[in-house]
Structure 1
Amino acid sequence: MQSKLESDLKELRETFHSGKTKESSWRISQLQGLLHILEDRENDFFMALKQDLGKHHVEAYRDEIGTVVKSINYALGNLKQWMAGKKARLPLAAFPSKAELVPEPLGVVLIISSWNFPIGLSLEPMIGALAAGNTVILKPSELAPMCSSILAETIHDYLDSTAVKVIEGGSDIGEKLLQQKFAKIFFTGSTRVGRLVMLAAAQHLTPVTLELGGKCPALIDSFSSSRDTKMATKRIVWGKFGASAGQACIGIDYILVEKKNLSNLVELLKKYIKQCFGDDPNGSNSMSKIINKRHFSRLKSLLDEHMVKSSVVYGGLFDEENLFIEPTILVDPPLDAAIMTEEIFGPLLPIITLEKIEDSIDFIRSRPSPLALYAFTKDNNFQKRLVSETSSGSLTFNDVILHYVVDTLPFGGTGGSGFGRYHGKYSFDNFSHEKVVLTRSFFIDIWFRYPPWNDTKLQLIKSGLRFDYLAIVLIALGLKRKA
């Protein structure tokens, strides 16, 4: 494996240094190749996602295939504009000069993707890497083996195999990859593994983007309209259970609500769970399965903890043979229990009650910054407080997950939920270095920037740096002295 890996890296570096990846024609051809993969092999991806995660093909298209197609088309439509240098404004003190910012590719980059959205989380960052002109190694998750296999096959057949390679395998392969020197590492996964990625990257001073997770809260204010309450609840049901059975880094982890609204909320949650998944969610074919037995056992242990199981008010059915967990609602589990201190990543939904919804601000601030915060409220003052008094990767009012699919918005975390951002132009920037190119004329020179020093020169330098409008006067002095 080591010799094959070194051979692959050598080829990728040679391809990058050939200069062909800097051409817009090459970048466009690779993005078009990704489009052809998704169009030609759509049914194969559907079958792989069904086998690995139990995803219905409609959910698979909505959350992975369709969103990636949209992102590729967006990149193709804007690529030449992204590649163009930007003129930079210069102070008068720099006259006569001009400058621009020129984006250039980084080199050979490593993308390590996650299993919960194995197609989308592999190809979405690759769009930015290829658009920016890099060569790429993709390491898909071994926990979604069918998706990993089809990615390896199609990327080899449709893209430039000297510039894009898929390396499959488990954690041992990941460790070997992290021992190599890359121009950039893009990792999506758990906080625990994210720390290991950073530690390995530090050995080579490799820049890293970490897309991690966190406990994403949804808070529900009181609404004067029952219609608004119902719509908010329905969106919460989708945001928790309808995206990979809660196995989503931006899925809702828990709800904050006033005690007086609890009973109505629970009844509405039950209603919309049944509306979306029927009386028997296990047989509905509309809810994904848990990825494997290890994660199934982990989720089961969250409920088995002391005093947690007694807080279950709905659901709680576990089918280990089919790796299925019923949508489950809990009310006020112990705040020090694992279900409230660890990311759930599954279809278990705790509800925490508060005396007043404004208390949610202190509750959220007392915990690590989430990747996403969802707030269902029409109170403008409360919205302003949430914007100014809480920290999160994103803050969405009155909906869930929507921000992820908007190409003009950056996606990323803060604090323990990760750092760095991507999607759309932000993906291109993530995999680019914006090089400063400054050109100065020989037309004039400023005599007092050169030794030998004296107090007159000091005062002129201070004035020039402090008051930019004096630059013209200073230049005039420079012309007079011609020193």
Structure 2
Amino acid sequence: MADNKYTLEQDHQLVESLDQLFEQQKSAFRQQPYPSAEQRIQSLKKLKAAMLAYQDELVSALNSDFGCRSADDSKMGDFMPTLMAIDYSIAHIKKWMKPSKRSVGVLFQPAKAYVMYQPLGVIGIITPWNYPLYLSIGPLATALAAGNTAMIKMSEFTPATNEVLAKMLSENFDSSQVAILGGGPKVAAHFSTKAFDHLLFTGSTRVGKLVMAAAAQNLTPVTLELGGKSPTIIDEQIDMKDAVSRFILGKTLNAGQTCVAPDYILCPSNRIDELKSAVAHWFNKMYPSVENNQDYTAIINDAQLSRLKAWLDDATEKGASVTTLGSDSLASCITSGKLPLTLLTDVNMDMTVMQEEIFGPLLPIVSYETVEQAIDYINDRDRPLALYVCSQDSQFQQRILEHTHAGGVCINDAAMHVAQDDLPFGGVGPSGMGHYHGPEGFKTFSKAKPVFAKGKFNSATMAFPPYGKLIHKLIYKFFIK
């Protein structure tokens, strides 16, 4: 794992640099407040070319930051969705920029009304450590598509990746358009206090509250992409091996260090053993070993590994049955910085693992007797960022959709709704607020400015005072009723 310690002196210098960059970007945006579609497309093409040119170096840096980051996890979880999002924006920018025509009431004719989508200005992006490329460059691409400048605060836990990204972006963009900063919590806290025109934060609910409180001092609008305990519901009838094949990659990709990873499974009580067997089948097939397997990503750092181990010990002490998958011993995997997928049954709400977002390869299994019981279990808790349904029964699917809330849903899949460029992404309640991705992302980073335009003839003069004329009586007769 790379050294992620920043000195106070370094943080102090970064804070000063942050202030200067912010003023520089504000000034640059005033000079060019409405980039053309061609300029925006050119910026995105440049960003894509840079990503491809730096692919190997970035994959290596991610591996360094994690201690072992599967190259394929990096390609599937960071590179592919980022490049797809850039391509999607390039293809749609001209359409998104077109003014949206709106109707004008009879009383106000002749006139026209429309909404123009105007760049907001300087966008702040705060990025977590788990997918440092996708969650920095993805929002950056959307901000550029909407015509903004952007400043990115990277996590202190990915210093190697931050260094490569900084080099990549500085070679292709002037800092007045795109700026990137590393640094520790002091820099992140100061970043949140800047009067950005919009601030996007991806991370924990706890830190999201702090970011929102800081942004409120400037009335800065925020999009919060948080997390929570995302459930997977398995119905009574689906083939169990098929059901597990639908969510297992979403749970094991990046060793479960994913905000939309399935957090726990709701399973019919009479199918628990069948579920455990099917999960073991798929996991052992995907990862015959864990300790020395380059396909299996390590936990990002010792602190996160210790947290997961403590939660596992806590669950065991409070009565959970633990099944560690894979051919390696748990102790040897932990020594190598890894944690194999570990199933927990007989869980209860006294366990920390059932109270907090897991963010790792622990998988509690909760039994239910009826679908109403499963729905109540979900609704009794905070609304999750994602919800997954494993069922071929359309009535079962619809019942879950209509009776639960979640930021997003997959039916017979997990996590892949995030990669659908034409779908908005965002949480609800404690799992977040606001959306980005696709057209919703473009609108998030734009001001939908209403415009009402009249030509040479001004019909309003007929209704000027003095009141009591026939025109006023007619207006009231037909429009106040």
Q: What TM-score does the superposition give when structure 2 sets the normalisation length? A: 0.91
Evaluate the alpha carbon distance shift between residue 122 and residue 308 of structure 1 in structure 2; reply closer, same or farther with a 3 A threshold: farther
Pick one of 356, 364, 374 that aligns with 2:370.
Answer: 356
Q: Which residue of 1 aligns with 2:309?
A: 300
Q: Distance in 1 between matches of 2:143 and 2:301?
A: 30
The answer to whether the 8 A contact 2:251-2:261 is kept is yes
- Structure number, greater radius of gyration: 1
Per-residue Cα deviation, 1:326-364 (whole angstroms, up to 9, x for no partner) = 210011311232111100000000000111234211111
Q: Distance in 2 between matches of 1:377 and 1:457?
A: 63
Moved more, 377-386 or 73-82: 377-386
Evaluate the alpha carbon distance shift between residue 438 and residue 311 of structure 1 in structure 2; reply closer, same or farther with a 3 A threshold: same
2:411 equivalent to 1:397: yes
Q: Which residue of 1 aligns with 2:254?
A: 244
1:79 CA drift (Å) = 1.1
Per-residue Cα deviation, 1:164-195 (whole angstroms, up to 9, x for no partner) = 11111111111122222111101000111100
Q: Which residue of 2 aligns with 1:269?
A: 279
Q: Distance in 2 between matches of 1:92 and 1:232?
A: 56
1:160-175 equivalences under 5 Å are: 160-175=174-189
Q: Which residue of 2 aligns with 1:472?
A: none
Q: What TM-score does the superposition give when structure 1 sets the normalisation length? A: 0.91
| Aligned-CA RMSD value | 2.0
The answer to whether the 8 A contact 1:103-1:435 is kept is yes
SS at match of 1:427: helix
Gaps of 5+ in 1: 468-483
1:88-103 equivalences under 5 Å are: 88-103=102-117
2:352 equivalent to 1:338: yes
Evaluate the alpha carbon distance shift between residue 466 and residue 410 of structure 1 in structure 2; reply closer, same or farther with a 3 A threshold: farther
Per-residue Cα deviation, 1:457-477 (whole angstroms, up to 9, x for no partner) = 88655544457xxxxxxxxxx
Q: Distance in 2 between matches of 1:133 and 1:308?
A: 53
SS at match of 1:403: helix
1:195-234 equivalences under 5 Å are: 195-223=209-237, 226=239, 229-234=240-245
Q: Distance in 1 between matches of 2:120 and 2:50?
A: 25
The answer to whether the 8 A contact 1:21-1:27 is kept is no
The answer to whether the 8 A contact 2:246-2:390 is kept is no
Pick one of 24, 29, 43 that aligns with 1:16.
Answer: 29
Q: Distance in 2 between matches of 1:410 and 1:193?
A: 23
SS at match of 2:447: strand
2:341 equivalent to 1:327: yes
1:286 CA drift (Å) = 1.5
Q: Distance in 2 between matches of 1:385 and 1:455?
A: 59
2:41 equivalent to 1:31: no
Q: Percent identity?
A: 35
Q: Distance in 2 between matches of 1:239 and 1:310?
A: 23
1:79-228 equivalences under 5 Å are: 79-223=93-237, 226=239
Per-residue Cα deviation, 1:432-465 (whole angstroms, up to 9, x for no partner) = 0011111124535357854455698886555444
Evaluate the alpha carbon distance shift between residue 110 and residue 359 of structure 1 in structure 2; reply closer, same or farther with a 3 A threshold: same
SS at match of 1:257: strand
Q: Distance in 1 between matches of 2:345 and 2:201?
A: 34
1:230 CA drift (Å) = 1.4
Per-residue Cα deviation, 1:124-163 (whole angstroms, up to 9, x for no partner) = 1101101111111111111111111111111111123321
Equivalences, count: 462
Aligned partner letter, 2:337: L
SS at match of 2:112: strand
Gaps of 5+ in 2: 1-12
Q: Distance in 2 between matches of 1:81 and 1:362?
A: 43
The answer to whether the 8 A contact 1:12-1:162 is kept is yes
Evaluate the alpha carbon distance shift between residue 445 and residue 157 of structure 1 in structure 2; reply closer, same or farther with a 3 A threshold: same
Per-residue Cα deviation, 1:35-93 (whole angstroms, up to 9, x for no partner) = 11111111001101211222221221111111111111111111111112111122223
SS at match of 1:384: helix
1:25 CA drift (Å) = 3.0
Per-residue Cα deviation, 1:368-408 (whole angstroms, up to 9, x for no partner) = 00000001112222222212111111121111112111111
SS at match of 2:74: helix
Q: Which residue of 1 aligns with 2:444?
A: 430
1:367 CA drift (Å) = 0.5
Q: Distance in 1 between matches of 2:414 and 2:34?
A: 37
Q: Distance in 2 between matches of 1:336 and 1:97?
A: 64
Q: Distance in 2 between matches of 1:271 and 1:455?
A: 84
SS at match of 2:28: helix
Moved more, 31-40 or 367-376: 31-40
Aligned partner letter, 1:246: G
Q: Distance in 2 between matches of 1:257 and 1:455?
A: 73
Q: Which residue of 2 aligns with 1:380?
A: 394
1:294 CA drift (Å) = 1.1
